[in-house]
Amino acid sequence: MGSSGSKLEKALGDQFPEGERYFGLENFGNTCYCNSVLQALYFCVPFRDQLLDHASRTKVSGDADDNLLTCLSELFTQINSQKKKTGVIAPKRFIQRVKKQNELFRSYMHQDAHEFLNFLLNELVDILEREATASSKPTSGQVHPDKLANGTANGTANGNHHHSVVTWVHKIFQGTLTNETRCLRCETITARDETFLDLSLDIEQNSSITSCLRNFSSTETLNAEDKFFCDKCCSLQEAQKRMKIKSPPRILALHLKRFKYIEQLGRYKKLSYRVVFPLELKLCNTTDDAPGSEAEYSLFAVVVHVGSGPNHGHYVSLVKSHNHWLFFDDENVEIIDESVVQTFFGSTQEYSNNTDHGYILFYESLEQKH
Catalytic positions, please? 32, 314
Comparing CB distances to Zn ion, the nearer of 35 and 237 is 237
What is the rounded CA–CA span in Å between residue 47 and residue 335?
A: 23
Compute the least distance from the CB of residue 118 to Zn ion, in Å: 35
**Whole-angstrom distance, CA of residue 187 vs CA of residue 64:** 56
| Shortest distance in whole angstroms from residue 284 CB to other proteins | 8
Give the range of 25-33, 135-143, 162-170, 183-191 binding Zn ion by CB under 5 A: 183-191
Q: Is 185 in the site for Zn ion (CB under 5 A)?
A: yes
Interface with other proteins includes 204 (CB under 8 A)? yes
The binder of 206, among other proteins, Zn ion, none, by C-beta within 5 to 8 A per type, is other proteins
Return the range that interacts with other proteins (CB under 8 A); candidates 60-68, 140-148, 182-190, 278-286: 278-286
Rule CB under 5 A: say whether 232 interacts with Zn ion: yes
HEC-encoded secondary structure of the chain: CHHHHHHHHHHHHHHCCCCCCEEEECCCCCCHHHHHHHHHHHCCHHHHHHHHHHHHHHHHHCCCCCCHHHHHHHHHHHHHCCCCCEEEECCHHHHHHHHHHCHHHCCCCCCCHHHHHHHHHHHHHHHHHHHHHHCCCCCCCCCCCCCCCHHHHHHCCCCCCCCCCCCHHHHHHCEEEEEEEEECCCCCEEEEEEEECCEEECCCCCEEHHHHHHHHCCCEEECHHHCEEECCCCEEECEEEEEEEEECCCEEEEEECCEEEECCCCEEEECCCCEECCCEEECCCECCCCCCCCCEEEEEEEEEEECCCCCCCEEEEEEEECCEEEEEECCEEEEECHHHHHHHCCCCCCCCCCCEEEEEEEEEECCCCC
Widest CA span in the chain:
71
Which of other proteins, Zn ion, none binds 193 (CB below 5-8 Å, type-dependent)?
none
**Contact mark string toward other proteins, 310..339, x via CB under 8 A:** ----------------------------xx
Q: Return the one option of other proteins, Zn ion, none that residue 233 interacts with (CB less than 5 to 8 A, by type).
A: Zn ion
Determine which residue in the list 139, 140, 152, 206 makes contact with other proteins, applying CB under 8 A.
206
| Closest residue by Cα to residue 347 from 337, 359, 355 | 355
**Residue 284 contact partner, candidates Zn ion, other proteins, none, CB within 5 to 8 A by sort of partner:** other proteins
Number of residues that bind Zn ion (CB under 5 A): 7
Beta-carbon contacts of residue 265 (< 8 Å; ≥ 6 apart): none
Region near Zn ion per CB under 5 A, out of 115-123, 157-165, 178-186, 290-298: 178-186
Nearer Cβ to other proteins, position 95 or 251?
251
Which range of residues in 76-84, 109-117, 286-294, 305-313 is near other proteins by CB under 8 A? 286-294
182 lies in the site for other proteins, by CB under 8 A: no
CA distance 190 to 243: 12
Residue 48: how many other CB atoms lie within 10 Å: 17
- 331 vs 364, beta carbon nearer other proteins: 364
Which of positions 295-354 make contact with Zn ion (CB under 5 A)? Answer: none
Q: Determine which residue in the list 83, 288, 351, 368 makes contact with other proteins, applying CB under 8 A.
A: 288
Q: Does 280 bind other proteins (CB under 8 A)?
A: yes
Which CB atom, from 118 or from 298, has the smaller least distance to other proteins?
298
- Identify the residue among 176, 178, 195, 205 touching other proteins (CB under 8 A): 205
Q: Which residues bind other proteins (CB under 8 A)?
A: 204-208, 210-211, 274, 276, 278-282, 284, 288, 293-294, 296, 338-339, 348
Q: Which residues bind Zn ion (CB under 5 A)?
A: 183, 185-186, 230, 232-233, 237
